[in-house]
Amino acid sequence: MGRGKFKMVMSPVRAGAPLLEICVDDADGVAAVVAAGADRIELCGALALGGLTPSAALVAHAVESGVPVHAMVRPRDGDFRYDCADMALATKEIRHMVAMGVAGVVVGAMADDRRLDLDVLARWREAAAGVAIVLHRAIDLVADPVEAVGQAAALGYDHILTSGGAATAEQGAEVIAKMVAAADGRLSIIAGSGVSADNVAALLARTGVDAVHASASMREDWGDSRVLDMGFAMGPRRRTSADRIAAIRRKIGEG
């Protein structure tokens, strides 16, 4: 699909305002981001599972939108302790994403239940040469997310997506602020999880981040319960809302 299929709506946010990234997992989500004028797409497959590597066709479609795309590279659901086969597949996926024209890739790996796998993360930084690389919320599982900021910066990572080790960014705001201080401009801290128009202004003020991440989605009710009964879904689907994206942007712009 050519870029002429997309109709961009200019963002109402003033220049220099914090960046708004929206996570999506389908073509409708890409269209909603374009319509509402968000700054960046985090492109995933299966957001209901926390986000997996998206299909090649969806990546191509999102890149064609003209909105910068950071593509998730997560070869399976579950934890982030990967075996050799998982790591090799993810490395190939990173290289394919770079070749397809993404602006960045989003990754994370754990050595055990409390520590990042720095060797694997370094390998993925090398595979993603030429584009941005984001350490995702695997950092929220480590013993000390603030200390881990320095580790990611030393590896050459460009961004960290975090909720401050809490279930939501609002709950983890104090730790996120400490992570921003620890980053000291070496990389960007992105606050994510539970971000909405209702809390984004306060979250920005409390943390000092220069970017926020949201799904801006609404629950979609299915009339046919067999979709769940037959195991085709884990629960009710959520659909990205252009109106919710626009509402978050307005609140950012008022800051």
Q: Could you tell me how far CA 234 lies from the centroid of its own chain? A: 21
Examine the pLDDT at 234 and tell me if it is beyond 90: no
**What pLDDT sits at residue 226?**
75
- Contact partners, residue 246, CB within 8 Å, separation at least 6: 12, 36, 37
* Tally: H helices and E strands in the chain: 9, 10
Report the pLDDT averaged over residues 140-147: 97
What CA–CA distances, in Å, run from 10 to 68, 252, 255?
Answer: 15, 15, 18
Least confident of 1-5, 40-44, 140-144: 1-5
Examine the pLDDT at 8 and tell me if it is beyond 70: no
What CA–CA distances, in Å, run from 168 to 7, 192, 196?
Answer: 32, 7, 11
Report the pLDDT averaged over residues 212-232: 80
Give the span between the Cα atoms of 157 and 15, in whole angstroms.
Answer: 25
Give the span between the Cα atoms of 209 and 247, in whole angstroms.
Answer: 19
Asked if 247 and 20 touch (Cβ cutoff 8 Å), the reply is: no
**What pLDDT sits at residue 17?**
83
Report the pLDDT averaged over residues 204-226: 88
Tokens of 53: 């590597």
**What pLDDT sits at residue 237?**
78
Top pLDDT among 14 and 151 is at 151
Instruction: Return mean pLDDT, the chain.
Output: 91
Query: Homologous superfamily of 19-133+192-253 in CATH?
Result: Copper homeostasis (CutC) domain (3.20.20.380)
Asked if 82 and 138 touch (Cβ cutoff 8 Å), the reply is: no
- pLDDT, tens digit (0-9, with 9 covering 90-100), for 159-198: 999 999 999 999 999 999 999 999 999 999 999 999 999 9
Question: Percent of the chain having pLDDT more than 70?
Answer: 91
Asked if 255 and 18 touch (Cβ cutoff 8 Å), the reply is: yes
DSSP readout, 150-204?
HHHHHTT--EEEE-TTSSSTTTTHHHHHHHHHHHTTSSEEEEESS--TTTHHHHH
Give the span between the Cα atoms of 28 and 124, in whole angstroms.
Answer: 30
- pLDDT, tens digit (0-9, with 9 covering 90-100), for 23-66: 999 999 999 999 999 999 999 999 989 999 999 999 999 999 99
For residue 93, the one-letter residue type is E
Q: The whole model's pTM is what?
A: 0.90
